[in-house]
A and B are shown apart, each in its own frame.
Chain A
């Protein structure tokens, strides 16, 4: 069963793995996770019409791109000229060789099967995957690779020589030496017999990519290390940990390659483990290809960390690109992909336009709801098509947020919050006819939802989330539950929030990092100020509406006065004045809605966002608390051990020692968790500030332009009136 599972799994991991990377705690539940991945990875299916090729392609691509730049060049170059098979074999050889100098024999084995397997898939997938590659994703990868060529080179060089010069090299070396052994052993047995390792490897690489991609720059810098560490810790408790700690980036790759499967990532680990052990055998030919890819992917992952600049996008595209390359491992696809990659890099990093339009009331009475048209326009290859439209209702948006925040908030990500539920407003819409206040409510919500979605897809990690893609793409979405403000689930949520708040108050964190302390303070005072400002802008809106109303009344009154006036010229001038005032009334009204939609709503958004920012600080605190608790526990265990030692009870002593080991592992893991969350929070806050600066600037300019426009209109109106006034005789 395992085998079967592994083989099936191998394709889906790409998308899923991405998601899972975020969840570091999955290590233990390999099988389960794998399953989850599959189920969760609906997207993967979509993407992967030719699943195997895609998976294979990734690595292949990577390999190619990397290979030229890297020390691997030799084999690659040679092979590149030739058909895929040779390349793949060459790559595999090179890698194998580099990795395991000693295990030359093994190399041969690998290479052979790989080549064979590669050939088969290549033929199958070439057509389809190639197309995909051409579109977009490949570009980014290639570019990344090239850009990071230097880094790669280093790595590769190191790998080859197994020299210990760089940190990266060290870990690699270690990894290679040890993991290789492991892998060699396994593959040697399994792989040799078949290319089993490949399947596992594929899974791994994919994950590695995912890691690289998802984590993006930051991950590479730190979080990556953490991620890799975690999985590794359990598996490799011994050496890998050290390696990882030292050279995180390096560690990832190595881990992926060798231990492969287990350590790459939690998710990867889940999938990888089974695949390695069992799947490898079963996978057969396909697995061979996968192996190649896997190796390639490993390289990619190494590269990706280095390529801070190329972010998620690059990472994402890399997957598809890789598929292409793998599918068409021939030399042809490579150049194309490179070019494409470059193009993509030049392109705006966000080629994704989302709009929410056409609010429509569905149903009647209290069961009625508003449905919105969510249209997406994109050139990102992660989507099935370039343009698609779905209908979503408000609770779907809330559901999306629930899913995202469940997955990402605990890792310190700022998950953009959706607009609040408004029972009052919605009830009005449900009951009311076409009165202006409910129309305004609907428009306000529509605009807020649009901004919300745009914020979500602007977030590199969230964009990768399959739920986001599903939300944008999938025709029918399961009804979101638990988003009802008054439902039982809502009640539970409230209780949870309350308990959270209490625990927050009770946790006294002695802050080690001044940066966080200062930021938190800043965030809090900003929150206050924004709230104040929001209240004032609200009052401006109200006053301007009053002004508009009063102007309208005055206009009517002046019109009446004009009609009573017996001097003809004055009468005309007065009715002209009434007209001018009428127009000005409209102007005030428009300006009031500009005040509201451009200015007040921006502030409301940011007040909500600040809540999310504070939540991510809370997550960090929670991680810290967990770490502290674990430390305390460890301390207790140690004391128990000491007592036992004193009491001379050897039978229980062993158990106590085991517990200590266990808790030591936990402590170090929680510490890494904390470090990782801290790093993420830091990154996220910086990102938030950048976005805020951009948003505010944009909106302020927009607002001023709206003011400018109404002033210009005013000039026009009065200038038109002036001759009328002068004409009074």
Chain B
């Protein structure tokens, strides 16, 4: 009997084990299923009704099909106050979806805040999940893309939530210059939360459905008595045209995500990687004849710098950063013979400024872009047509001196390959600033239409020949002497005067040579850019 008893006992134990195992498996499945629907179908429908995708849909569209590897699906918030401990208030994964995946085969870490769970509010657990993938991204060297759609702090958690923000901020700062960080604002992002996007390299917004502000319209009304809508205060238009907080705005979620995919292709995965090189169908020695006639004879007449940029770069593919802000400078990414480059150009075709002067906003816009390129090994190509800094009390009182210094600082500090083309005017201090030879420009070219001088002929003659007659004659002489590329060329401040049509060919060849450029700035704890 003993044998049969033992057999029976063993099978009973097994059955019990199997039973508990099954119930764990069931629970896993249940949790997973629950995680996939976030705050539930009702809230998902509400999200759709607002013209917004859900957190998971966004991730799915952003990443290559079936490439998403999720982490922390089982994480739940740990709050036990205000009834939060009840089961119905617990959502597996909490209010954010995190993980890694690929964009065109290239590794990226992603977090996507889930508005359907407590309005996407940030709990301690939520922050922890974000921090975890940011830490991993830093370890392996891959970019982080944050999809923001959050009502703010999880008020029930209080200080825990605040700590969470700070944890993220710290990581944003630590990752800055190590891996590219992109924020895509796809819903509300208010209060302290805004500082995470502000610390990342690029902030994109979705028109009509996303907002960024420190305090909302109600608080504004009570404090300053201003009547302002959410859209006016912190909508995509405000931040891409007035404040300069956001770098681009897109029509809707789908467009935004597809564009971020495209944008991602330009970026290296980390500061350890060279600028990416993609297969290129455009001939590197293609001549661009239209450039020979693009600069008008009248020096005051405008032309569009974008025409120059678009015809020179591969396949006319130019991803402009901040296209609606400080339009007197154009910055953005393109490729030359497949290799990503950063383009900076003065824009003569701006109605508000009449001329392509540097001012506070354009200096800051340019400086930040140049520093990003330098941090991530992206060569910088600068097109110069600058008559100087913008005069006026508004500029002086606003601190054009220290803001202009940022652009100067950024160009001087940069050690990536720097190629500069002077298309027309390069006057005064602005000439020095715009990636001149003196700021370690590697290759500096002048087009035949270039004029490198302290100032325009008229102004110069008024100073040199003050009070004297024959100003017109003197002006003609000045033009003859200085309104051409020779004064700079004879001194070696430009390396060559080139036919505009050959510009693409020259840049492509130079970039090949400069690929092995090595330049190191003196050791320092960190530099002290005039912020």
Whether chains A and B associate is: no
